[in-house]
Every structure is written in C-alpha cells, then in structure tokens.
Amino acid sequence: MISKEVLDSLNKLGIALAAKPNFPIPSLPRDISDMDDEGLMDLFVQFTSWSDYLSGARAIAVINEREAERLVTNREADEFLNQWKGGSADRIALVKAKVASEPEVADAKYDLDTKYAFRKLLETRADDVERNSQVVSRELTRRTSGISGIRSRKDSFRI
C-alpha cells in the first residue's frame, strides 16, 4: 500500500502522525458551563488528541481510496484491451458491459466503494470531534475573557 510507504518515508524524516489516544473519544457534556476549569481543560486536551489522530487517519484513508481508484482504472483498461476486437461504436457499449462484469474489475470497484465509505464515516467522526473541540475552546475563551480581563487590559493602556 502506498500509505505504508509514505508513512515509512515520513518516519525516516522524523515526522510521525499522532498516535491513537489511549482513551475513548469523549462526549460533550450537555451543560459545559457546569464543568470546573481543570475538567474543561482536560476535555479540551482529549478532543485535541483525538482530532490530531483522526486528521492523520483521514489522510491515510484518502490515500488508500485514491490507490483503489487507480486500481479500478487499471483493471478496467486491461479488461477493455482484452475484450476489444475492433468494430463499430455499438460494440464499445458491449465491451464496456463485459469489462464491468469481470470479477477482477467488480472486486476492485467493491474495494473502492469500501474505502470510500470508510473515508466518509471517518470524516464524519473527525468533523464531530473537531466541532466538539471548538465548543470547549469557546467555553475556555469565554471564561478567560470575562469582565476582569477587560478591566485589566483597559488599565494597562492608561497614561
């Protein structure tokens, strides 16, 4: 797989994708304002860890899907050349149908569809985690930019 080769190349450069966190993806509490500051920051770190991991997993899924697309294209081309006997445009439609029904082509298309579905589901989960991380970030910002923060900034600009 190309993604394995790419990961090996990145590792040789000292660049690694984020490791899978050793805790489950957290849930966002219904009322985040009830959390204490330490719990909120821990939740933010958990979401960020999962977001980092899922970003790398998404990239791998995209690479694998592209590889599967290329395999489908190559198998279709090979079969088309094997099936083609020359002739009129009407025959092209028949050859295309024969190519599509070849087991190797059908298997490659099934593999592509599976990789596409995996990527879409992974993207959905990655987007969920990112949105939840943004909610936690906004709550952290709200807490740190209260009235006392505004007063201290105004006081620092007095002449």
Per-residue pLDDT reduced to its tens digit, 35-67: 999 999 999 999 999 999 999 999 999 999 999
Element (H, E) at 12: helix 2-12
- Indicate the pTM of the whole model: 0.79
* Distance between CA atoms of residues 64 and 85, nearest Å: 34
Whole-angstrom distance, CA of residue 70 vs CA of residue 142: 48
Supply the pLDDT for residue 29: 94
- Which pLDDT tens digits describe the chain residue by residue (159 residues)? 677 888 889 989 999 899 999 999 999 999 999 999 999 999 999 999 999 999 999 999 999 999 999 999 999 999 988 888 777 666 788 888 889 999 999 999 999 999 999 999 999 999 999 999 999 999 999 988 865 554 444 444 444
Structure token pair of residue 55: 């970003």
Cβ atoms within 10 Å of 112's Cβ, excluding its own:
20
Cα gap 75→109, rounded to integer Å = 10
Type of residue found at 82: N
**DSSP letter assigned to residue 20:** P
Q: What is the pLDDT of residue 4?
A: 83
Rounded Cα–Cα distance for residues 31 and 76 (Å)? 54
Predicted pLDDT at 91 = 78
End-to-end CA distance of the chain: 65
Contacts of 29 (CB under 8 A, 6+ apart): 35, 43
